[in-house]
Amino acid sequence: MPTEGAPILEILRRELNEYFLGQRADFTVPLSLSGPPFFLRVWEELRRIPYGERITYGELASSMGRPGAARAVGQALARNPLPILIPCHRVVGKHGLGGFGPGLHWKKRLLELEQTYREKFSPR
């Protein structure tokens, strides 16, 4: 939970540091996003993917009631303004990692990080 009066960048710095140390699975930093309605919906759905989980572009499209929209989902992910906070790294291709704006090496590292700490954040 954000500390009242704390500058948003300080909250973000702290929460990202905790994430990379395996101490945080979710972010509380308030987000104010703008974009096409479909993109906003995709980004909202991304925030519902549990820590350490992976789904395909097609599965994400289907979960939104748009089973033929895997490519459109990919376009929304490519324009994600806040990777990690909006965890597009958790969406993978049907036959591989797929893409990731900051680079596939980062996507792989983020997935490995979350796999390492997944049990810690799994509901019991």
Contacts of 82 (CB under 8 A, 6+ apart): 31, 33
Distances (CA, A) of 42 to 63, 77, 79, 123: 10, 8, 11, 24
Active-site hit among 76, 88, 91, 110: 88
Crossing angle for the helix pair 70-78 and 37-46, to the nearest 10 degrees:
80
Q: Which helix (H) or strand (E) holds 12?
A: helix 8-20
Structure token digits, residue 30 = 């308030």
Identify whether 106 is a catalytic site residue. no
As annotated, the active-site residues are 88
